[in-house]
Amino acid sequence: MKEINPDLLSDIKVQYYENDDCTNILTIKYVGKYKYGSAGNDDARYMYAKGKLGFNLFEPEGIILDFQELEYQWGDMIELVFDIGVNEYEDEQLPMALVIGNGCEKGIGTLIHGINEEKPTATTEEWIFDNFDDAWRYVEKRIEK
């Protein structure tokens, strides 16, 4: 047998942050370059697994996926990351927001709207933002409901 290390599947770095107030929101920050197309499948699986690990360890009431320092152009499997916390609570969807940056804005927009969209803007989705503060307020309000 040989030891295998999941951290060798991807060059993406994953960091977890929590807030200091009463609201239990977990921020999962992804940093690095997502490989193009199907070459990024291991990146997607790794990002999902690390996000799921954070969800299971910290048991948040809401999640913010921080893609501000992620470079992403194309690869459908990244949608796996959006499933962190899905179906974990029987009655309700876990409040979640995505924050995008310049390195992934166009790619996420194309993923959401399709490749034929002339100006695929991801932030037209109610849960996707181009700044952290708006994402935070969105998740916080959803938790309060």
The CATH number of whichever domain residue 109 belongs to comes to: 3.30.750.24
Q: In sequence order, what are the residues at sequence separation of 6 or more whose Cβ sits closer than 8 angstroms to the Cβ of residue 115?
A: none
Instruction: Evaluate whether residue 91 is within a structural domain.
Output: yes
pLDDT band for 139, please (50, 70, 90 cuts).
very high
Query: Residue 69: pLDDT above 80?
Result: yes
For 96-117, the pLDDT digits (tens) are 999 999 999 999 999 988 877 6
Looking at the structure of the chain, the number of domains it has is 1
Instruction: Evaluate whether residue 1 is within a structural domain.
Output: no
The whole-number pLDDT of residue 65 equals 98
Instruction: Evaluate whether residue 42 is within a structural domain.
Output: yes
Domain that holds residue 18: 6-144
Instruction: Evaluate whether residue 23 is within a structural domain.
Output: yes
pLDDT band for 16, please (50, 70, 90 cuts).
very high
The whole-number pLDDT of residue 91 equals 60
Please state the three-class secondary structure of 43-89 as a single string.
HHHHHHHHHHHHHHHHCCCEEEEEEEEEECCCCHHHHHHHHCCCCCC
Instruction: Evaluate whether residue 123 is within a structural domain.
Output: yes
The pTM (predicted TM-score) of the whole model is 0.92
Query: Residue 132: pLDDT above 90?
Result: yes
The single-letter DSSP state of residue 114 is -
| CA 28/CA 130 separation, integer angstroms | 16
| CA 117/CA 121 separation, integer angstroms | 9
Please report, as a single letter, which amino acid is at residue 42.
D
